[in-house]
Copies of this chain bind each other. A is one copy, B any other.
Amino acid sequence: MKYSLRQLEIFLAIARQQNISRAAETLHMSQSAASAALQNLEQSYNISLFNRVGKKLELNEVGKTLRSKAELLVSHAQEFDQALQGHNDIGHLTVGASFTIGNHLAVTHLAGYLADHPEAQVDINVANSSDVVGQVLNFEVDIGMIEGEIKHRELELIPWREDSLVVFCSPEHPLAKKQSLTDKDIKQARWILREPESGARQTFNNALAGLMPDLDVYLEFKHNEAIKKAVEAGLGIGCLSEIVLQNNFKTGELVPLKLPKRDMKRTFYFALPKKRHKTAAIDWWVEECNRGG
């Protein structure tokens, strides 16, 4: 065995950052040491892991293959470290979640999770769905929670729960009195929506596929709160997950609108790297999220 776990950690950090200097920072070591460690690993086995194309460090084919194996091994090694430390598994976890899920669902489940594993340290990293997938594939988070169905060779999607988008407006809005919206209403309304990359917007686009070209998309925001505020101010009508709207409907600040025959259902997924080692913590998290709540 001509390598050390330390070398693998360094290799993986470099693979993640695609940059030796920054990798060294995350490991709290000097750049020269990181560089030397990587060279050492490569020389011991007479292989090269990266394409040094000028500035950029990119994993080559060999590197890609070895990286996922190394990630697996280091993950095992860390689990063993925990076993050595007595606590069989404390439950440390890093979750990547899309905006909607992260801010509304993940936080409530976090409470339940921490109740079961008081020692655990959980990071919830909120970003849009496609960034979350990136983090998952780059091993920056242990598990992702996303909205869209994103296909990727290295990604495993586990269906979690159903969700529905709801169209809504302020109580003062002219449409607020209507039982349900006609296609004409839809075309005439001013829409305030999430950005096109978001999961919610993609579901919206699919549901209104035929009408899309005629829609008046008045404003686009990256955050649900901004959309709610804008709609509340009467700037237009919005469409968001029922999850983020429930409270506002209850208090009457906002009112739901019905769109007959438009299916706005979608599925939330867990996203894991294929053949990732499943930590106990990961299992616990999935279990917690599947608990009625």
A73 CB-CB contact with B under 8 Å: yes
B80 and A69 within 8 A (CB)? yes
- Stretch from A2-10, A115-123, A283-291 at the B interface: A2-10
Query: What is the CB-to-nearest-CB distance from A58 to chain B, in angstroms, rounded to a whole number?
Result: 19
Query: What is the CB-to-nearest-CB distance from A86 to chain B, in angstroms, rounded to a whole number?
Result: 7
A212 CB-CB contact with B under 8 Å: no
Given contacts A72-B76, A76-B72, contact A5 B9 (CB under 8 A): no
State the interface size on chain A (CB cutoff 8 A): 24
A78 and B9 within 8 A (CB)? no
A5 and B5 within 8 A (CB)? yes
Residue interface bits A209-245, CB-to-B below 8 A is 1, else 0 = 0000000000000000000000000000000000000
A45 and B84 within 8 A (CB)? yes
B81 and A2 within 8 A (CB)? yes
A83 CB-CB contact with B under 8 Å: yes
User: With the chains together, A80 CA to B8 CA distance in Å?
Assistant: 11
A150 CB-CB contact with B under 8 Å: no
A107 CB-CB contact with B under 8 Å: no
A53 CB-CB contact with B under 8 Å: no
Closest 10 CB pairs of A and B: A45-B84, A73-B80, A1-B81, A73-B76, A69-B80, A69-B83, A76-B76, A1-B5, A5-B5, A45-B85
19 pairs across A/B with beta carbons < 8 Å? A1-B5, A1-B6, A1-B9, A2-B81, A3-B81, A3-B84, A4-B4, A4-B5, A45-B86, A47-B84, A47-B86, A65-B83, A66-B83, A70-B80, A72-B76, A73-B76, A73-B77, A73-B80, A76-B76
Given contacts A3-B84, A47-B84, 11 further A-B contacts (CB under 8 A): A1-B77, A1-B81, A2-B84, A3-B80, A4-B4, A47-B86, A66-B83, A69-B80, A69-B83, A72-B76, A73-B80
